[in-house]
Amino acid sequence: METKFDFAKSLVWSAGAFLKAQMDQPFEIKEKTDFTDLVTDMDQKVQDFLMEAITEAYPSDCFLAEEGDVFQDIHEGNIWVIDPIDGTANFVAQKTDFAISVGYYENGVGQFGLIYDVMAEEMFYGGGAFEVFCNETPLPAFEERPYSQSLLAINPGMYRHNVAGVGDLASQFLGVRTYGSAALSASKVLAGQLYGYISNISPWDYGASKIMGDRLGYATVTLSGEEPSFKEREFIMMVPKTRLADIQKVLEI
Amino acid sequence: METKFDFAKSLVWSAGAFLKAQMDQPFEIKEKTDFTDLVTDMDQKVQDFLMEAITEAYPSDCFLAEEGDVFQDIHEGNIWVIDPIDGTANFVAQKTDFAISVGYYENGVGQFGLIYDVMAEEMFYGGGAFEVFCNETPLPAFEERPYSQSLLAINPGMYRHNVAGVGDLASQFLGVRTYGSAALSASKVLAGQLYGYISNISPWDYGASKIMGDRLGYATVTLSGEEPSFKEREFIMMVPKTRLADIQKVLEI
């Protein structure tokens, strides 16, 4: 597994370099479900870059990936869960604050995850049998602290409409943040900068962070505390395992 | 004025270095109006650091500063508007994403502003007679683009409760962001990464960004389009001057 993990690290760095080298060229933007749900040709190019390299190295491995609805069952075989550009709106409007997210599962069990904040050149990697790092720094497990001294990242629509009471939950916290990237929000949880993250997201959005979070004491579950389906977009929270029950008491589920 | 501007740049860099050098030491945290409104002894120390140096160099200059309610009238004399740590909640909970903000006014007219993102080591500076830069890069003036391809930063409370219709305004945009620092949100407007910023803020929160924004084509005004009072906390927006009337049409004011 160590060889595969090293392969993944170097591949994700390369994909980041590939993306960065093309940042200044014009790219095509298309709308998916509506004008807020964008995809660029760079999303597809980075996904192809990753999938081709993985297929060459590991021909029998399969994928669960954002672009083109590559929807393999997570519970069967070796599955790479890929979001080539997480935070596409930031990529388009800000040219920063987006990430490449790659999680690797064997028969449904997370082996390692990688989140690469391309512009900040920060790579979060580890989980499963591997310690979690941000670049050269090992990340400590969750440390208990009061809600009132901690920040929460929440999907803005869920927050505004108080979906499942997340707005009420947020009012117990020091503040709410919204970064526009599930992977980067999750990486701030891993780094201890956020207490948790709640959003309406798809498997590729949490595929990598779930594996790293699990090792550092965070549960990535539905609002009712179940394992994510890895099949569709759903309400997902990444919160300290020790506070899961407390948080569920506040939520209306 | 160029001498004073150079003095200010080097002073704000020094204040950032001073703050960074003490980041790993424990600091005292106090609540101001409630548990979400924090101040640390580092806020006071950085403010003292700035005010002492300015007073030594320019003994007759006055201040409008966050800590200790230093409230000089902006319209009379030479006034330095100072927020020693903008984004104190981020400083406490994240150890990143906070800024030192300094604006300099003469008889109410902005001469230059500086916003220093301490951990990212990014300094935004200029305005008045000076071109606006981020570190070594000159920043272009606002360029017209559709709301649907642009992001807006909004105070989370105003967004959740749709204060003055800001939630409805936001729904015309590609997305909403919340960073927890007025100065850093404004600096993303200056950098063209956000279309605008709307919040409930005090003079020291917009004192620097208003001067730089003015030079790059942004109005920093109340929701009804008036100049900020520089006297109290109020609803303030920083938006492209060319779109001010359009935006006011959507808002309920």
Report residue A80: phi and psi, to 5°: -95, 125
Contact predicate B86/B186, CB 8 Å: no
Mind listing the domains of chain A with CATH numbers?
2-138 (3.30.540.10), 147-250 (3.40.190.80)
Contact B193 A94 (CB under 8 A): yes
Q: Of B36, B94, B176, which is closest to A193 when you measure between CB atoms? A: B94
Contact B178 A174 (CB under 8 A): no
pLDDT tens track for B207-224: 999 999 999 999 999 999
**What's the confidence (pLDDT) of residue A29?**
87
pLDDT tens track for B2-16: 999 999 999 999 999
Q: Which residue of B has its CA nearest to A163?
A: B160
**What's the confidence (pLDDT) of residue A83?**
96
**What's the confidence (pLDDT) of residue B32?**
84
Mean pLDDT, residues A133-149 taken together? 97
**What's the confidence (pLDDT) of residue B68?**
78
Mutation test of the interface with chain B: which of A174, A189, A190, A200, choosing the one with the most B Cβ atoms within 10 A? A174
Tokens of A6: 């090293």
Q: Which residue of A has its CA nearest to B174?
A: A36
Mapped onto helix, strand or coil, the DSSP state of residue B174 is coil
Mutation test of the interface with chain B: which of A34, A148, A155, A177, choosing the one with the most B Cβ atoms within 10 A? A177
Query: Is the pLDDT at A32 greater than 90, yes or no?
Result: no
Q: Which residue of B has its CA nearest to A195?
A: B93
Contact A193 B96 (CB under 8 A): yes
Q: How many CB pairs under 8 A join A and B?
A: 82
**What's the confidence (pLDDT) of residue A158?**
95
Q: Of A36, A174, A178, which is closest to B174 when you measure between CB atoms? A: A36
Mutation test of the interface with chain A: which of B139, B193, B195, B198, choosing the one with the most A Cβ atoms within 10 A? B193
Contact A156 B176 (CB under 8 A): yes
Tokens of B23: 């980041």
**What's the confidence (pLDDT) of residue A31?**
87
Q: How far is CA B180 from the centre of its chain?
A: 11
Mean pLDDT, residues A232-253 taken together? 95
Contact B94 A175 (CB under 8 A): no
**What's the confidence (pLDDT) of residue A207?**
97
Query: Is the pLDDT at B181 greater than 80, yes or no?
Result: yes
Query: Is the pLDDT at B69 greater than 80, yes or no?
Result: no
ipTM: 0.93
